[in-house]
Amino acid sequence: MIRLIRRRLAVAVPVLFATSVGMFVLGAASPNDPAAQYAGAAAFTASPENLAQIRANWGVDDPLPVQYLRWLGNLAQGDLGWSTSRHQAVAEVIGARAGWTLLLIGVTLLVVLAGSLLVGTIAAYRRGGLFDRGVRAAAYAVESMPVFWLALAAIAVFALGLGWFPAGGLTDVRATGTGVGDVAHHLVLPVAVLAISQAPWFLLFVRDSVADSLRDDHVLAARARGLPGRTVLFGHALRTALLPYLTLIGTHLPELVGGSVLVETVFSLPGLGAVSVQAALGSDFPLLAAITLITTAVVLAANLVTDLAYSAADPRVRVDG
Amino acid sequence: MTLLNIDGLSVRFRLRDATVQAVSDHTFAVRRGELLAIVGESGCGKSVLAHALFGLLPRNAEVSGRAILDGVDLIGCGEKRLAREIRGRRLGLVPQSPATALTPVRTGRRLLAETLRAHQRDPALADSLAEQVGLDAAALGKYPFELSGGMAQRLVTALALAPDPALLIADEPTTGLDRPLVDHTLDLLRRRCDSGGTVLLITHDLAAAERVADTVAVMYASRIVEHRPAADVFTAPAHPYTCALLNALPDRAFQPIAGHPPMLTALPAGCAFAPRCTHADGACATLPAGPPVACHHPLVTEAAA
Amino acid sequence: MAELTLPRPRRLRWLRPGARGTVVAATVLVVAVVVCLAVPVLWPLDQSAVALDQVGLPPSWAHPGGTDDLGRDVLHRSIYGLRVSLLVGVIAAVTATLVGGLLGGVAGLLGGWPDRILMRVVDTVAALPHLLLGIFIVAMLRPSLGAVILSIGLTHWLSTARIVRSELLSLRTRPFIDAAISGGASRARVLTRHLLPHVLPKIALATTLMVPHAVWHETSLSFLGLGLPPHLASLGNMINDGQRSLLTGAWWASIVPGLAVIVVTLAIAALSARWRDHLDPRVRAELDL
């Protein structure tokens, strides 16, 4: 177990480091002048001396490696910098929004996992049947739909057409606080859209691995012992077929993060995804870099956690490690 | 008294561009208390026969004929009835390759207790079952991948015995075991028959069949070519294939059979052994009658009578 | 601990279409490509033209895809958008293939520890949130087609690297390579004459499989306003514009360009799945004799 963690970190840390270097170099090569951005509209009226002062304060003209190490050092100390697009400390921006993104992704993940487990298992059980073929065809079709398009279609039908759910936002415009019921009502469509767009992957995986495992020796042997169908399915087929499901969650997180960026944008949710798009449109390096790096680190960590969970759930791996 | 009556049982698999004839027109009966050994080279369809009786064949399998166990037709009674009434209690299976037949994330004790409970038996019987097959309590607490081949074999045997099946089908139960373990397993099967149980032993090991079987059915290229009392088969084989098989044994002539068995996708219309048979002539182009001996030129004539 | 050698799930799994499906997919793709190539000649588009007297018209014979909130023909602009998306998709897929082919080639040819390290890096890079990285790259380089292509090339090379590497590793153990080497063939000759011909079809397939992903990535970035300038017709821009029209009930402004993405990527993916089966005909006989 310790060796697994160490081995993963031995790769993950350098990759994260390389990503930060690449991002920094890209940011430095960017044609945007951070000082002018900081000054914002005032840059047009500010004197060249003032701008130079800002540049000197920020150390923008220092050699790149010096700037990089300073940036990294600040990040490590928790100073994430100043957002030029929102005129606010980056840490504040992230702190206020990370929760909503985590909520969106977390709830979506739960819905996707439970739903695809149920539907995929039923399809595997009746493989070749009408349900199986229908589910698979739908999964392939959904897989080719861009998530933002799916979101617009959902808004057109369920928000504008039927009026069941709000078309965007997190709370009702008349609301003064953030009531749980209100937020939940606003999250139904985003979560459903994100879940459906991510589901094909999980669904097809469950369906195929359960279908395969139903022909596994140990499942046939369990049936030959006369165990009830439910016991065979849950105790023998799913237990082994779904162990890799755990690592699948880890490998699929990047897709989920990308999807949440798009869904947050379409539904105007105040999450990290939407704000990173605004940061990108405003060439806001400190905010965008911090969000990208932190998200990357979190996803890498989540990958490690799912791998650990996998090795904890499978006795073969557990003893081996 | 007959326990299992197989009548005209055939199994074939439809593949994309071929049909595999795995079991051809089997007709035989197993008496209560009998130990019938079905012997043949690997790939002749022995295991398919076992899986057909359990209704565990893959979907592309086509099964015809009947197999009446204790008044119930295993082929026609449907999955629900097989699962609820037949498998485990009336029909037990010691599966081939015990290493893969054990659910990897469960310990032996949990598997045994689960099977006992599923058949309304006392889970505490696990230890006495383990003792019966020669498995100690420590081994019972281990995960399958921690067991040696021999221990896994004994565990799957204990699992098959747990519901106390009327007919126990042991599919190659001695593969990969060393000699003392082979003997231990075989003796266990023999004792079961001696105390009123019935066993169908599927094996390619002729010595194993000779040691314990009451009757022997020799299978070649999906057909049963000879089905006679064990003593007769081993002292005076009637089918040239049986004779050749015996002659291939190390402690007999140690002479391998010339040629290869036919592909199950392209079986000849007549006797499938004819191309390799020294006695073959024009008559062998048609299918010989039988059992007990499916041969136009049996080596022991009174057996065919 | 044991290596977690789980099969990495393929990013795309498609119906194995029967012959009929293949014909439909091929027809769709050929028609799409021909239309995209011919449209500047037969039906040129003035990108900046608006027709404020024809705002928000539903689909009709005159405008089969309806018009958007500036009175522009949705179908006409969708075709132009598809042109851009396919062009970007193909160039970006080739870029990604070059990156992945190079790295996978190095890993597969060297084997040993460089291979192990590189594959660990590939596994880790696969865990990076690629849309965010793409957004970052495009934002820093200012939105442009080149930036979009670069961002796809830098984040989508993993599957090609894996394919090339495993293909080379399995080829290295084949007898005909040994024979060529012991026959005195130079390294370069073994590489160009014996290895490349076997790997190239797989690389081509990997590139084709990458095109739909590149198209999705491009439309996503455009949709977020990080692709082509907003007045130019691109599918992502149009779907974004369509979001405005949606509120007035003009669903066609976003549905039509979306359908263009879906139909074309489905056709490409279905054809490449067919191609993959052809390259790798594994007959799964469910048979336990």
Domain segments of chain B: what residues? Answer: 2-90+165-262
What pLDDT score was predicted for residue A111?
93
What does the DSSP 8-state code read for residue B251? T
**Interchain proximity C288–B45, CB inside 8 Å:** no
What pLDDT score was predicted for residue B214?
92
Kindly tell me if the per-residue pLDDT of A54 is higher than 70: no
Range with the largest mean pLDDT of A110-114, A183-187, A287-291, C152-156: A110-114
Residue C13 covered by a domain: no
**In the structure, what pLDDT confidence band is assigned to residue A88 with cuts at 50, 70 and 90?**
confident
Kindly tell me if the per-residue pLDDT of C1 is higher than 60: no
What stretches of B205-255 adopt beta strand conformation (E)?
215-220, 223-229
**In the structure, what pLDDT confidence band is assigned to residue C69 with cuts at 50, 70 and 90?**
confident
Element (H, E) at B168: strand B167-171
CATH number, domain of A263, equals: 1.10.3720.10
**Interchain proximity B102–A221, CB inside 8 Å:** yes
Residues of A whose CB is below 8 A from B103 = 218-219, 222, 235-236, 239-240
Kindly tell me if the per-residue pLDDT of B208 is higher than 70: yes
**In the structure, what pLDDT confidence band is assigned to residue A145 with cuts at 50, 70 and 90?**
confident
Kindly tell me if the per-residue pLDDT of C11 is higher than 60: no
What percent of chain C lies above the pLDDT cut of 90? 2
**In the structure, what pLDDT confidence band is assigned to residue B304 with cuts at 50, 70 and 90?**
very low
What percent of chain B lies above the pLDDT cut of 70? 98
Looking at the structure of chain C, the number of domains it has is: 1
C283 vs A286, higher pLDDT = A286
CB-closest option in A31, A201, A262 to C142: A31
Once rounded to an integer, what is the mean pLDDT over residues C104-129?
A: 82
Touching subunits of B (3+ CB pairs, under 8 Å) are A, C
What pLDDT score was predicted for residue C284?
35
**Interchain proximity A280–C138, CB inside 8 Å:** yes
Q: pLDDT by residue (tens digit) across C164-188? A: 888 888 777 777 777 777 777 777 7
CB-closest option in B48, B59, B60 to C289: B48
3-state secondary structure of B185: helix
Residues of C whose CB is below 8 A from A153 = 255, 258
Kindly tell me if the per-residue pLDDT of C6 is higher than 50: no
The alpha-carbon gap from B96 to the nearest alpha carbon of chain C, in Å, equals 11
Q: Does B222 touch chain C (CB under 8 A)?
A: no
- Which residues numbered 172-231 in C keep a CB inside 8 Å of some CB on A? 212, 216, 219-220, 223-226
Q: Minimal Cα distance from A28: which residue of C?
A: C140
Once rounded to an integer, what is the mean pLDDT over residues C15-32?
A: 74
Q: What residues of B are in the A interface, CB distance below 8 Å?
A: 51, 54, 56, 58-59, 83, 86-89, 91-93, 95, 97, 100-106, 114-115, 118-119, 143, 145-146, 156, 159-160, 162-163
Average pLDDT value over all residues in chain C: 77
Residue A18 covered by a domain: no
**In the structure, what pLDDT confidence band is assigned to residue B216 with cuts at 50, 70 and 90?**
very high
**Interchain proximity B104–A315, CB inside 8 Å:** yes
Touching subunits of C (3+ CB pairs, under 8 Å) are A, B
C42 vs A194, higher pLDDT = A194
3-state secondary structure of A315: helix
CATH number, domain of C138, equals: 1.10.3720.10
Q: Does C188 touch chain B (CB under 8 A)?
A: no
Per CATH, domain B2-90+165-262 is 3.30.1330.10: no
**Interchain proximity B54–A224, CB inside 8 Å:** yes
**Interchain proximity C283–B47, CB inside 8 Å:** no
**Interchain proximity A296–C129, CB inside 8 Å:** yes
Please tell me the total number of residues recorded for chain B in this structure.
Answer: 305
Which residue in C195, C217, C240 sits closest to C131, CA to CA? C217
Q: pLDDT by residue (tens digit) across B252-297? A: 878 888 888 888 888 888 888 888 888 888 888 888 887 788 888 8
Tokens describing residue A18: 């390389």
Looking at the structure of chain A, the number of domains it has is: 1
The alpha-carbon gap from A4 to the nearest alpha carbon of chain C, in Å, equals 6
**Interchain proximity C286–A248, CB inside 8 Å:** no
What single string gives the DSSP state of each residue in C193-204?
Answer: IIIHHHHHHHHH
Please list the residues that pair with B26 across neighbouring strands: B9
**Interchain proximity A11–C141, CB inside 8 Å:** no
Q: How many CB pairs under 8 A join B and C?
A: 25
Once rounded to an integer, what is the mean pLDDT over residues C7-13?
A: 39
Residue C103 covered by a domain: yes
Evaluate whether C167 touches C108 at the Cβ level (below 8 Å). yes
Q: Minimal Cα distance from A215: which residue of B?
A: B58
Q: Minimal Cα distance from C286: which residue of B?
A: B58
| Distance between CA atoms of residues B206 and B213, nearest Å | 10
**Interchain proximity C288–B51, CB inside 8 Å:** yes
Once rounded to an integer, what is the mean pLDDT over residues A24-36?
A: 71
Dihedral, C91, C95, C101, C102 alpha carbons, nearest 10: 150
Dihedral, A185, A190, A194, A199 alpha carbons, nearest 10: 30
Residue A70 covered by a domain: no
A320 vs A35, higher pLDDT = A35
Residues of A whose CB is below 8 A from B83 = 223, 226, 228-229
The alpha-carbon gap from A258 to the nearest alpha carbon of chain C, in Å, equals 5
The alpha-carbon gap from C15 to the nearest alpha carbon of chain A, in Å, equals 7
Which residue in C205, C224, C218 sits closest to C92, CA to CA? C218
Touching subunits of A (3+ CB pairs, under 8 Å) are B, C
CB-closest option in A221, A227, A239 to B95: A221
Report the DSSP pairing between strands A88-89 and A82-83: antiparallel
- Which residues numbered 242-281 in B keep a CB inside 8 Å of some CB on C? 264
Which residue in A14, A10, A6, A19 sits closest to A294, CA to CA? A19
**Interchain proximity C220–A155, CB inside 8 Å:** no
Q: Does C131 touch chain A (CB under 8 A)?
A: yes
What single string gives the DSSP state of each residue in C107-123?
Answer: HHHH-HHHHHHHHHHHH
Q: Minimal Cα distance from C226: which residue of A?
A: A281
- For residue A35, give every residue at least 6 positions away whose Cβ sits within 8 Å of its Cβ, in sequence order, or none: A43, A51, A54, A55, A58, A60
| Burial A269-303, CB ≥16 within 10 A → b, else e | bbbbbbbbbbbbbbbbbbbbbbbbbbbbeebbbbb
**Interchain proximity B100–A222, CB inside 8 Å:** no
Residues of A whose CB is below 8 A from B59 = 128
Once rounded to an integer, what is the mean pLDDT over residues C8-30?
A: 62
What does the DSSP 8-state code read for residue B225? E
**Interchain proximity B101–A217, CB inside 8 Å:** yes
CB-closest option in B43, B59, B60 to C289: B43
Residue C102 covered by a domain: yes
Which residue in B208, B213, B165 sits closest to B190, CA to CA? B213
What pLDDT score was predicted for residue B303?
46
Kindly tell me if the per-residue pLDDT of B301 is higher than 70: no
Q: Please confirm whether the linkage preceding B292 is cis (ω < 30° from 0).
A: yes
Residues of A whose CB is below 8 A from C139 = 279-281, 283, 288
Evaluate whether C148 touches C138 at the Cβ level (below 8 Å). yes
Q: Please confirm whether the linkage preceding B291 is cis (ω < 30° from 0).
A: yes
Which residue in B61, B77, B72 sits closest to B23, CA to CA? B61
Report the DSSP pairing between strands B61-69 and B72-73: antiparallel
Q: pLDDT by residue (tens digit) across A6-21? A: 877 887 888 888 888 8
Q: Does B204 touch chain C (CB under 8 A)?
A: no
**In the structure, what pLDDT confidence band is assigned to residue A46 with cuts at 50, 70 and 90?**
low
What range does the domain containing C216 cover? Answer: 33-39+67-287
